[in-house]
Amino acid sequence: MSRRPEILFPLFAELTKLDGIGPKMAKNFAKIGVERPRDLLFVLPHSLINRALIASVQDVQPPCVVTVEVVVGMHRPNAVKGRPYRVTVQDAKTSFQLVFFHAHKDWLGEQLPSGQRRVVSGKVELFDGVAQIVHPDFILRVEAADAIPSNEPVYPLTAGVTQKTMQKAVASALTRAADLPEWIAPSLIAKHGWPGWLEAVQKGHAPEKPSDLAREAAPRERLAYDEIFAHQLTLALARAKLRRAKGVVTVGNCKLRNRVLAALPFKPTGAQLRSVGEITTDMAAPLRMNRLLQGDVGSGKTLVALLALLTAVEGGGQGVMMAPTEILARQHLEALQPLAENAGVVLEILTGRDKSGERRGKLAALASGDIQILVGTHAVFQKDVVFSDLRLAVIDEQHRFGVRQRMDLGNKGAAVDILVMTATPIPRSLALATHGDMDVSVLDEKPPGRLPVDTVLVSKERFDQVVARLKVAIAEGRQAYWVCPLVGESEIVEWAAAEERFRTLRAALGEDVVGLVHGQLPSAEKDAAMARFVAGKTKLLVATTVIEVGVDVPKASIMVIEQAEKFGLSQLHQLRGRVGRGADASTCLLMYAPPLGEAALRRLKVMRDTEDGFKISEEDLRLRGAGDVLGVAQSGLPRFQIADLEVQADLQKIAQDDARLLLFEDPDLDGERGQAARVLLYLMEQEKAIRLISVG
């Protein structure tokens, strides 16, 4: 097992080895994610304080930081306890006061002897029309004034860490940074005018003018590229390992697929056929497939997945399709089982709710190959689930599963091909960051016959009108969803809101008419409530965002989203995608609480004006930021400290191409640049990537 290079040891030492940091201060630093000297190098200043010497406080507009030379005048100690100690000073044009609380008289006498010249620097403010500096940051003799930086970097802080502590710690960390070997291709360095790594870090912490703080400043851009390159190199290594992993050649004869296509009441779109072609080509190759199928709400991913799974069966193997929730798994079963039976294929479901005897029977049928396609929840990961010959694993709604789980499922067969599906259109910049190890197929056409959804903004003050309109629609035989507000971080609170709205609407529309689904309900109750709605027994389903993904009820043609302004754009788009699936014209009412803020209004207008998921995702990214769009905790989105994914998408593409080229030329990273890249991976704590090489 390779180990961290010695050149990096000083950067990975205890934080307490740095000047001015004891155990207590180290705990304060940990709150902002700083645990070793290395972490400090990547906490760059966000602004500058100009401390250049000026003639007089009269030359500036308070409040602001000034540095002036003064003659010290009269001291006025605090005669009454709790009152401040004041020292009058005179600059080139006017007199003002230096103010001190809890200061020792003797110390102030030494620091500011009357009649002598001093240089003071601090924040000047007006108090009752008189200029004053409370607790100056610097008081120095004139000959020592060079010790005041003309531009002082300002760092992000946390409780218990002052700017002075931060600056001292950063200066100490910088002394531990060595001149590391260059991992960036010389042509890129020359093209962008980037400095070497050490110079970039040093200059990043010593900005001299505001433009040095900009993302485009060469030192910062280089450090951003390093973060992105390390991440793309890790993805490229994962991809290379998958590709080195020999796949099983799976070639279908189209018999089963043609039976299904013949039974369909519509023709697949060009995008669906193109994606099936890309997937079956990958499956026929002797390398493992790792592909992302990205399609907007209602673009027909499920059919593409089924045709891919049938290819696995035609080739003599089995397929598995995994969904994040039991509701979704059962829905896939209902949608796919009739088609599979039509083709003469055995398709079964496995969830955590199967009784032990029933489960044993399914596991035996799976191990013998009698079950050809399995649909399930994360229950399919469990160790006792053994396939006879698993060829293809389809993972629905990938952002709900970690990469680790993806790998676990991939390990269920000799060389399982992986197809990941997402209905969340991912902006190009984020697709590179989160799925850079995968090949991508995009469904960018809607199947024929899908009607547009009419989206209307409505104030919550019209609540009674909305309920009255629902009453009429229900009387006409239509069905509707009522999605309750995103109250807060707590699922319990959202559940309470849903229960409350359920009671209100049941009182208004009738007890048998309204159903309820939320995340806190036991699975059996949730499934029963969904089943009643699907069967048309209940006409209105009150729900939290548990219905966001995949729920398919063609008769439901009205969607009310309460407090729509609290939802993200992509989530609103997913929810709206639950209607417009049948023959009826559909409506989505975005109910908001006035007055709306500017960003919320912009979000809701985007929803009203377009149904294009990719446009919506780009706008969502602009409004909310990468972490929120994908949900940082689950997204697999790298947490960069310097790079900005939204703005620096161009660097990602360059980094992806460069990482793949480096591995093509030096697969084991043994060459000069390869060895330097290993140092980068350790610096960025991507040891897992190193293991991908050693395991090879």
Task: Name the residue with higher pLDDT: 2 or 586.
Answer: 586
Band of residue 303 on the pLDDT scale cut at 50, 70, 90: very high
Q: Is the pLDDT of residue 495 over 70?
A: no
**In the 8-state DSSP scheme, what is residue 287?**
B
Least confident window among 95-99, 169-173, 448-452? 448-452
Domain-embedded: residue 298 = yes
pLDDT score for 406: 54
pLDDT score for 306: 95
The answer, as to whether pTM is greater than 0.75, is: no
**Token digits of residue 186:** 């010389």
- The answer to whether residues 96 and 131 touch, using CB atoms and an 8 Å cutoff, is yes
For residue 47, list its beta bridge partners: 154
Q: Is the pLDDT of residue 541 over 50?
A: yes
- Summarize pLDDT for 102-149 with one digit per residue, the tens: 778 888 988 899 999 999 999 999 888 889 999 998 999 988 888 888
Q: How far apart are CA 349 and CA 338, in angstroms?
A: 13
Q: How far apart are CA 391 and CA 373, in angstroms?
A: 10
Least confident window among 115-119, 157-161, 351-355, 366-370? 157-161
414 and 507 belong to one structural domain? no
Domain count, the chain: 3
Band of residue 196 on the pLDDT scale cut at 50, 70, 90: very high
Q: Tell me how far apart the terminal alpha carbons of the chain are, to the nearest angstrom.
A: 12
* Mean pLDDT value across residues 648-659: 85
Domain-embedded: residue 109 = yes
Whose tokens are 């400090």? That residue is 40
Final residue of a structural domain among 107, 128, 148: 148
Q: Is the pLDDT of residue 408 over 70?
A: no
Band of residue 433 on the pLDDT scale cut at 50, 70, 90: low
Q: What is the mean pLDDT of the chain?
A: 83
pLDDT score for 623: 63
Establish how many alpha carbons lie within 13 A of residue 208's alpha carbon, considering only the half-sphere containing its beta carbon. 3
Q: How far apart are CA 409 and CA 324, in angstroms?
A: 13
491 and 393 belong to one structural domain? no
Q: Is the pLDDT of residue 272 over 80?
A: yes
Domain-embedded: residue 268 = yes
Domain-embedded: residue 326 = yes
**Token digits of residue 462:** 């019209």
**Token digits of residue 116:** 């002598």
pLDDT score for 29: 86
pLDDT score for 563: 87
Contacts (Cβ under 8 Å, ≥6 apart) of 266:
447, 448, 449
Query: Which amino acid appears at position 529 of this protein?
Result: A
Beta strands in 299-339 (DSSP E): 318-322
**2: nearest Cα among 691, 531, 692:** 691
Residue span of the structural domain in which 62 resides: 52-148
- Any idea what the CATH number is for the domain that residue 599 is in? 3.40.50.300
Phi, psi of 531 (to 5 degrees): -60, -40
Band of residue 637 on the pLDDT scale cut at 50, 70, 90: low
Torsion sign (Cα): 353, 356, 357, 363 = positive
Residue % of the chain over a pLDDT of 90: 32
Least confident window among 390-399, 448-457, 569-578, 629-638? 629-638
pLDDT score for 446: 74
**Token digits of residue 166:** 């931060």
Beta strands in 497-585 (DSSP E): 514-517, 540-543, 556-562
Tell me which H or E stretch contains 503: helix 491-509
432 and 524 belong to one structural domain? no
pLDDT score for 612: 76
434 and 464 belong to one structural domain? no
- The answer to whether residues 449 and 264 touch, using CB atoms and an 8 Å cutoff, is no
Phi, psi of 316 (to 5 degrees): 95, 10
* Mean pLDDT value across residues 628-653: 64
* Mean pLDDT value across residues 334-356: 89
436 and 482 belong to one structural domain? no
Burial of 387-416, coded b for 16+ CB within 10 Å and e otherwise, reads beebbbbbbbbbbbbeeeebebbbebbebb
Q: Is the pLDDT of residue 620 over 80?
A: no
pLDDT score for 351: 87
Domain-embedded: residue 356 = yes
Q: How far apart are CA 308 and CA 440, in angstroms?
A: 15
* Mean pLDDT value across residues 264-273: 88
Antiparallel, parallel or unpaired: β 130-134 and 117-127: antiparallel
- Summarize pLDDT for 455-490 with one digit per residue, the tens: 989 998 999 999 999 999 998 888 999 998 754 445
Q: Is the pLDDT of residue 376 over 70?
A: yes
Final residue of a structural domain among 594, 610, 626: 610
* Mean pLDDT value across residues 417-439: 71
**In the 8-state DSSP scheme, what is residue 572?**
H
432 and 566 belong to one structural domain? no
* Range among 155-164, 352-361, 624-633 rated most confident: 352-361
Least confident window among 69-78, 205-214, 542-551? 542-551
**Token digits of residue 333:** 């079963």
439 and 458 belong to one structural domain? no
Task: Name the residue with higher pLDDT: 566 or 410.
Answer: 566
Q: Is the pLDDT of residue 362 over 90?
A: yes
Q: Where are the alpha helices (DSSP H) in 194-217?
A: 197-204
Tell me which H or E stretch contains 258: helix 255-263
Domain-embedded: residue 642 = no
Q: How far apart are CA 9 and CA 428, in angstroms?
A: 37
pLDDT score for 636: 47
379 and 493 belong to one structural domain? no
557 and 580 belong to one structural domain? yes
For residue 541, list its beta bridge partners: 481, 515
Q: How far apart are CA 111 and CA 678, in angstroms?
A: 52
Q: Is the pLDDT of residue 434 over 70?
A: no
Q: Is the pLDDT of residue 633 over 50?
A: no
Q: Is the pLDDT of residue 634 over 50?
A: no
Tell me which H or E stretch contains 433: helix 428-435
430 and 288 belong to one structural domain? yes
Q: How far apart are CA 404 and CA 414, in angstroms?
A: 18
Domain-embedded: residue 544 = yes
Q: How far apart are CA 549 and CA 328, in angstroms?
A: 8
3-state DSSP call for residue 661?
helix
pLDDT score for 154: 86
* Mean pLDDT value across residues 325-346: 88
* Mean pLDDT value across residues 433-449: 72
pLDDT score for 416: 85
Q: Is the pLDDT of residue 348 over 90?
A: yes
- Any idea what the CATH number is for the domain that residue 139 is in? 2.40.50.140
Tell me which H or E stretch contains 278: helix 270-284
Q: How far apart are CA 566 and CA 600, in angstroms?
A: 8
DSSP secondary structure string, 600-647?
HHHHHHHHHH---HHHHHHHHHHHH-HHHHHTHHHH-----SS--TTT
- The answer to whether residues 540 and 577 touch, using CB atoms and an 8 Å cutoff, is no
Final residue of a structural domain among 125, 148, 171: 148
Burial of 312-326, coded b for 16+ CB within 10 Å and e otherwise, reads bbbbebbbbbbbbbb
395 and 484 belong to one structural domain? no
**In the 8-state DSSP scheme, what is residue 399?**
G
pLDDT score for 117: 93
303 and 438 belong to one structural domain? yes
Domain-embedded: residue 599 = yes
